[in-house]
Amino acid sequence: MDFKKAAKELVGQMTYAEKMAQMKYDADAVERLGIPRYNWWNEALHGVARSGAATVFPQAIAMAASFNPDLVQQVASAIGDEARAKYNEYKTFGDTLIYQGITCWSPNINIYRDPRWGRGHETYGEDPYLTGVMGTAYVKGLQGNGKYRKCDATLKHYAVHSGPEEKRHHFDAQVNDRDLYETYLWAFRYVIENAQPAAVMGAYNRTNGEACCASDRLIKDILRGEFGFDGYVVSDCGAIRDINEHHHLTNSLAESSALAVKAGCDLNCGSAYLWLSEAAEKGLIDEDTITQSVERLMEARFRLGMFSDDCEYDNIPYDVVECEKHIELCRKMAQESTVLLKNDGVLPINKDVKNIAVIGPNAESITPLFSNYYGRATRYTTLLRGILDAAPEGVKVRYALGCDLCRDDLNPKYEEMPLREAVLAAKSADVVIMCMGLDPGIEGEQGDTYNTIGLSAGDRATIDLPLSQQKLFCEISKLGKPVVFVNMSGGCVNLAQQHEKCSAVLQCFYPGAEGGNALADILFGKVSPSGRLPVTFYRSDSDLPDFEDYSMENRTYKFFRGSPLYPFGHGLTYSKITESWLDEDTVELENQGNYDTAYSVLKFEYIPHKNLCGIKKVFIRKGEKLTIKF
């Protein structure tokens, strides 16, 4: 089927008003042409979101830590199956509402340039190559490889977008061309060239003075011109209104809408494109420009099989939602996403251990499992529940909250004071497992968080642990017990004290519904950890440049001039793997330890700075040798 031709013929039968009504995210029906109402807005960052039951996979930053693009593609394919299965059922109502469609506004391939950015955990980390490879895998899995597309993937947020959240509606990101192309645009180009994503979402901010959703340079010249992107562009929600209300580049919504459409923004999340009719009346835009955008949108709907009766994905049954295969895949991804940062031999937990204390505000919390943009998991396992279920017979597990996640102003007269209980639990333990860190209530999108910066700011003011947790850690450390510190966060936290004082340190990011089971698999030695850090872990806030400075100078592993606590790519296993590079493209691996393990080989080049340029993840058994070619 010629999708472009079909779209052109269909749009040719529409009136001018009908065309403009298709450019809203909640597109109107055109009943006389057999076009049902359709809501373009759906989310699938790490599972189908905001639409009832779904498998909640680890957050994107956690999947990046797996350094396993093949596994990411499997996860995305499962998510695409669940989205399509839900859509197949929802459309029996006659149309689809918000979060019920198959046009998914994922993945987020922005660069996590600064650990204070609240939305960094939605990304694949700080490296453009890793982001490009993981984004490509995700798009391929979500969209499928059939005659039609299973779902549409949308790359966001284009471009030069990574905070500050509090100022995103009026912020102007200033960036030179080298950083623009080498860092901020590189992954967009890579994914477009290697996976043909259906859509790209424009960012809220300006870049070098131009509103991203109405930028001739970013959309016309670079995205469609240099990168050859042939899909549709959608605005972030409310971003067109920002052009006049906050960026002050235009004087009205009609002017903003016309400016955006002429630059190539085809679809509006928000209500600004209701003013397109006024823009047309004033001569600010012509019908041919509108027609071009609507043809791109209708082509996408044809490619999704919406107007066909032979789409292979229409037969995906609702039973795939949270099926056993997807739950197992969720657990495997959580296992491979866990990063062992330090281990003095305390892990895996010795069979002689009979008393374990599990302490901390994230031990029994659901929130850090699910992160943001999540579905409703029918079943889930907290870190504590995973440990309880996996602990060998005869092992006593004691739990204590220890402290609030971030509040340090508990009223001793009326509120629970959990610190002493934690000390008591630790005193009787052979090993203490401290489950601490952050959650999406501390770091996240503007409007979603209530943290130390201010109401709903989203970003973090510091990379330090909350004071409440620092106090708890200090008291437990005084006891001299072996401590396994499990950090849950969307990115870098200052773990200098934990590295110094703990026997082992694990980074779990936000591990999804099977996070507790996956952690227990690693703690008790059922699985060897194999994750690596997709971001640099710095030692203190003083390592970080001005948050609002978009220069890459002294940022990320490529350009940081200091000494990180844990570098990008760091990650241990329970075994001893040696790498012997035979030439620049060939490496011999040998497992000299006592454990079978998955293992990621990272290839770097110097241009002149260190630069990731290859990833291979393998499974290597104890005593085995493997030769890997890039």
Residues classed as catalytic: 236
Query: Buried (b) or exposed (e) across 42-69, using 16+ Cβ within 10 A?
Result: bbbbbbbbbbeebbbbbbbbbbbbbbbb
Report which residue type is found at 467.
L
Place of tokens 């996979």: 57
Q: Is 468 helix (H, G, I), strand (E, B) or coil?
A: helix
List all residues 6 or more positions away from 261 whose beta carbon is below 8 Å from its beta carbon.
23, 273, 276, 285, 289, 290, 293
How far apart are alpha carbons 400 and 403 in whole angstroms? Answer: 9
Contact of 369 with 505, CB cutoff 8 Å? no
Nearest to 481 by CA among 402, 547, 417, 427: 427
Contact of 232 with 196, CB cutoff 8 Å? no
Ordered DSSP codes for 359-421: ESTTSS-SHHHH-SS--B-SS---HHHHHHHHSPTT-EEEEE--S-SS-----TTTS--THHH
**Ramachandran category for residue 322: left, alpha or beta (phi over 0 → left; psi -120 to 50 → alpha):** left
Phi and psi, residue 419, nearest 5°: -60, -45
Q: What stretches of 53-151 adopt beta strand conformation (E)?
A: 103-104
CB burial of residue 535 (10 Å; 0-12, 13-18, 19+): buried
Q: Is 626 helix (H, G, I), strand (E, B) or coil?
A: strand
Helix (H) or strand (E) holding 451, with range, is none
Instruction: Label each residue of 265-293 as H, E or C.
Output: CCEECCCHHHHHHHHHHCCCCCHHHHHHH
How far apart are alpha carbons 521 and 391 in whole angstroms? Answer: 10
Phi and psi, residue 174, nearest 5°: -95, 125
Place of tokens 């699938």: 44
Q: How many residues does the chain have?
A: 630
Query: Buried (b) or exposed (e) across 411-446, using 16+ Cβ within 10 A?
Result: eeeeeeebbebbbebbeebbbbbbbbbbbbbbbbbb
Q: C-alpha angle 398/399/400, rounded to 5°?
A: 130
Place of tokens 């957050």: 59
Nearest to 490 by CA among 109, 107, 135, 125: 125
Q: Is 317 helix (H, G, I), strand (E, B) or coil?
A: coil
Q: What does the radius of gyration of the chain's CA atoms come to, in whole angstroms? A: 25
How far apart are alpha carbons 48 and 581 in whole angstroms? Answer: 41
User: What sign does the dihedral 137-44-186-489 (CA atoms) show?
Assistant: negative
How far apart are alpha carbons 516 and 324 in whole angstroms? Answer: 17
Helix (H) or strand (E) holding 587, with range, is strand 586-591
What distances in angstroms separate CA 303 from CA 315, 366, 427, one per listed residue?
16, 38, 62
